[in-house]
Structure 1
Amino acid sequence: MKQRLFSLIRKEFIQIVRDPRTLILTLIYPVVMLFLLGYAITNDVRNIPLAVLDRDRSGQSRALLDAYRASDYFKLEYYITSEDEMNYLIESNQARAAVIIPPNYGREIVAGRVGQIAFIIDGSDPNVSGTALTAAIMVGQSQSTKIVAQRTMRETQTQMPVDVRTQVWYNPGMITAYYMIPALIGMILQFLTTFLTSTSIVRERERGTIEQLIVTPIRSWELVAGKMVPYVLIAFFDMIEILVAGVLLFDVPINGSLMLLLVLSCLFLVTTLGIGLLISTVANTQQEAMLTTMFTLLPSIFLSGFMFPLAAMPTFLQAVSYLIPLRYFLIITRGIVLKGTGADVLLPEILALCFFAIVVMAATAVRFKKQLD
């Protein structure tokens, strides 16, 4: 029995050594995941992009903005002049919150009365919006205490001098399901399409049917399209299933165009299916194809904004996230479902997905052509 067990263990080691690609992936995979988990997984939200509409422009308003800047929760990135600019910045995800200081704020503070400000928060991401809501109130209260201390002892202070009135847009209840369900569309589509297509060519190679494809008079792009169509139909069915379940079970509101979501989902599917087929042309075995697929899926989970806010990550990981197609599709799904965003606002994300689709499909067609030749 011991001899049989030793022989089986020895055989498994030999099999691993004979497959160097799988061996390399097996060794590198834990290190990469440890790196990503160590830096990307954090619930500490800092440097929330803030739009500032200061209609007072007084010393008192500047002091208030300095307090928000010093808190480290907000990054005063946009100084705007109208509410239309504010709406666009929040809708396009460039700003996650906005502060509006009215023209009479400074006079009210000097006169010993209450100076009211408005603080608008994008509630589509409950994690970020919850932090922004708490920080907005906390900084306002801290500034109120400072103003009270600066006033003379002869004045009778009956109320706090700064009144922060907050509004949460798009997801007033800050319900996590409203934020996660649209993201699950992208995650499930990528997982299914990439995983299923990554083993397609490898499976035919292992079964010996790849030679039949080689001798047939078909072009490489036709073979790519023929491999993609069935998975596209399956993926669309899954997407509709997720949307229906989200509406029925979680009451997720769909505020935007469903047709626009379907069209842009098709563009995303071209990219993910192309990645799966590209993996299939590179891998030699189904096991290697599966490992390579997981190697691409997990970074997408951590670096796309699916679970953790990109603003909380180090700068170099934020730069790497621009290479993740899922990052752009999550902005699209959350924008359409939660905010009712149109194609004009989502144009940068649409162009990015077009670029990824062209590059990935071109690379896949080249790999297929080499194999068919």
Structure 2
Amino acid sequence: MISLSRTWAVMAKEFIQLTRDRLTYAMILLLPIVQLLLFGYAINDDPRSLPTAVLVQDNGAFSRSILTALDNSGYFEITLQARSQAELDRALARGEVQFAVMIPADFTNRVVRGDRAQILVEADASDPSATSGAVAAIASLPQQALVRELTGPLANRAPGTQPFEVVVQRRYNPEAITAYNIVPGLLGVILSMTLVMMTSLGMARERERGTMESLLATPVRPLEVMVGKLTPYVLVGLTQATVILVMARLLFHVPMSGGWIALGLGLMLFIIGSLALGFLISTVARTQLQAMQMSFFYMLPSILLSGFMFPFRGMPEWAQIIGTAIPVTHFLRVVRGSLLKGVGIENAGPSLFALALFVLVVGTLAMLRYRTTLD
């Protein structure tokens, strides 16, 4: 027969044990809150105020009206007044802008003459979901942009004709194939999941089994322990990356546009940084369960706020600040930029610098946290 007193005693023991494990208790309370905030506020499939560069070679009233109409649409935010086509291309390649608009020098004359006036809108379509809404909004631009200017004789046009045409050019992923964006991004997510978790769990397992005592009794220095333990996992990470890239090409036909030096450098920095983070987690966690919980808590924002699943520029400013502090964000920019855009080190420089800074900071913290005794 079941004894309520004994059952109550076991329940009380579990509650007491739960309160003693502060990390687990904090995860239980914080995880639902973090998920609610991220999914409720940070995730947006229809980004607005996308950074836009413009090259205006016609300074007439019609050009100014078009720029005003773009701004009023809510999808475009003019952040760069370019002086050449090369500057537009460079801004798109670096990811500084999502769109580039070029208004030719003869635009006003062509509109007045009714001679098939055109403007060019180039979109960074490496992430199709980030540009689909804005591209759809461009379709209404010819009907609305010049309504006030085209009066009197200029308004006498054949039914169904437009005062100008918007030529949209989707660059880096013209067919808007989602796999071209998701599959390269998986490289960063898979490496994070495996390397951070493997390293943190491995170190925590040694502490639980007592094998760490033998290592701590030796004169091995913290840096030597860190390098010796992480080097095999670097080879594991490189093997994983090679397999993913080969499968991405063979199975999903992801374009390999070049930029191999930037990709290789970014890959090494990201692998080392992920392993250093796992080492740091292992110095804080006392059990394998705690190490797994802390690793998962790192992975959640890495997947949601890095631009892997949802457009980075669709998130509010506070979420973008958090996302910028996550190394996966910068690694995804390097991978997608190298594979889809063929960017070199000069264009991937900011992201590579962020990864190098992450390696330096996390590696230093890991060595400072490491103890030559079990206490």
Shift of 1:345: 0.6
Hey, what does 1:101 align to over in structure 2? 103
Structure 1 counterpart SS, 2:139: helix
Q: Letter of the 1:297 partner, please give it.
A: M
Hey, what does 2:367 align to over in structure 1? 365
Q: Letter of the 1:174 partner, please give it.
A: A
Give distance in 2, aligned partners of 1:91 and 1:77: 15
Shift of 1:372: 6.7
Structure 2 counterpart SS, 1:359: helix
After superposition, the C-alpha distances for 1:66-124 in whole angstroms (9 at most, x for unaligned) are 11110001011111110000010000000111111111111222234432111111111
With over 3 angstroms needed to count, the CA separation of the structure-2 counterparts of 1:357 and 1:154, relative to structure 1, is closer
> Do the aligned partners of 2:122 and 2:169 also contact (CA within 8 Å) in 1?
yes
Structure 1 counterpart SS, 2:25: helix
Structure 1 counterpart SS, 2:123: strand
Give distance in 1, aligned partners of 2:126 and 2:155: 46
Shift of 1:325: 0.9
Aligned partner of 2:210 among 208, 211, 218: 208
Mapped pair 1:322 → 2:298: no
Q: Mean alpha-carbon deviation: is it higher for 17-26 or for 54-63?
A: 17-26
Hey, what does 1:124 align to over in structure 2? 126
> Do the aligned partners of 2:130 and 2:313 also contact (CA within 8 Å) in 1?
no
Hey, what does 1:245 align to over in structure 2? 247
Hey, what does 2:308 align to over in structure 1? 306
Give distance in 1, aligned partners of 2:351 and 2:176: 25
With over 3 angstroms needed to count, the CA separation of the structure-2 counterparts of 1:196 and 1:252, relative to structure 1, is same
> Do the aligned partners of 1:145 and 1:160 also contact (CA within 8 Å) in 2?
no
The two structures, once aligned, show a CA RMSD in angstroms of: 1.9
With over 3 angstroms needed to count, the CA separation of the structure-2 counterparts of 1:161 and 1:198, relative to structure 1, is same
Hey, what does 1:133 align to over in structure 2? 135
After superposition, the C-alpha distances for 1:252-307 in whole angstroms (9 at most, x for unaligned) are 11111335423321111111111111111101111111111111110111111111
With over 3 angstroms needed to count, the CA separation of the structure-2 counterparts of 1:142 and 1:237, relative to structure 1, is same
Give distance in 2, aligned partners of 1:54 and 1:118: 11
Give distance in 1, aligned partners of 2:195 and 2:106: 57
> Do the aligned partners of 2:62 and 2:146 also contact (CA within 8 Å) in 1?
no
Hey, what does 2:221 align to over in structure 1? 219
Structure 1 counterpart SS, 2:347: coil
Hey, what does 1:25 align to over in structure 2? 27
After superposition, the C-alpha distances for 1:221-277 in whole angstroms (9 at most, x for unaligned) are 111112211211111111111111111111111111335423321111111111111
Q: Letter of the 2:100 partner, please give it.
A: A
Structure 1 counterpart SS, 2:370: helix
Aligned partner of 1:268 among 267, 270, 273: 270
TM-score, scaled relative to structure 2: 0.94
Q: How many residues align?
A: 372
> Do the aligned partners of 1:220 and 1:372 also contact (CA within 8 Å) in 2?
no
Hey, what does 2:78 align to over in structure 1? 76
- Percent same amino acid among aligned pairs? 39
With over 3 angstroms needed to count, the CA separation of the structure-2 counterparts of 1:213 and 1:109, relative to structure 1, is same
Hey, what does 2:92 align to over in structure 1? 90
Structure 2: any 5+ residue segments left out of the alignment? none
With over 3 angstroms needed to count, the CA separation of the structure-2 counterparts of 1:302 and 1:172, relative to structure 1, is same
Hey, what does 2:158 align to over in structure 1? 157
Q: Mean alpha-carbon deviation: is it higher for 87-96 or for 135-144?
A: 135-144
After superposition, the C-alpha distances for 1:342-365 in whole angstroms (9 at most, x for unaligned) are 001111111111111011001101
After superposition, the C-alpha distances for 1:296-321 in whole angstroms (9 at most, x for unaligned) are 11011111111111211111111222
Shift of 1:145: 5.9
> Do the aligned partners of 1:40 and 1:308 also contact (CA within 8 Å) in 2?
no
Q: Letter of the 1:280 partner, please give it.
A: S
With over 3 angstroms needed to count, the CA separation of the structure-2 counterparts of 1:275 and 1:74, relative to structure 1, is same
Give distance in 2, aligned partners of 1:230 and 1:335: 28
Give distance in 2, aligned partners of 1:225 and 1:340: 32
Q: Mean alpha-carbon deviation: is it higher for 353-362 or for 136-145?
A: 136-145
Hey, what does 1:42 align to over in structure 2? 44
After superposition, the C-alpha distances for 1:156-199 in whole angstroms (9 at most, x for unaligned) are 42521111111111111010000111111011111111111112
Give distance in 1, aligned partners of 2:46 and 2:155: 42
With over 3 angstroms needed to count, the CA separation of the structure-2 counterparts of 1:321 and 1:208, relative to structure 1, is same
Hey, what does 1:197 align to over in structure 2? 199
Give distance in 1, aligned partners of 2:373 and 2:240: 32
Structure 1: any 5+ residue segments left out of the alignment? none
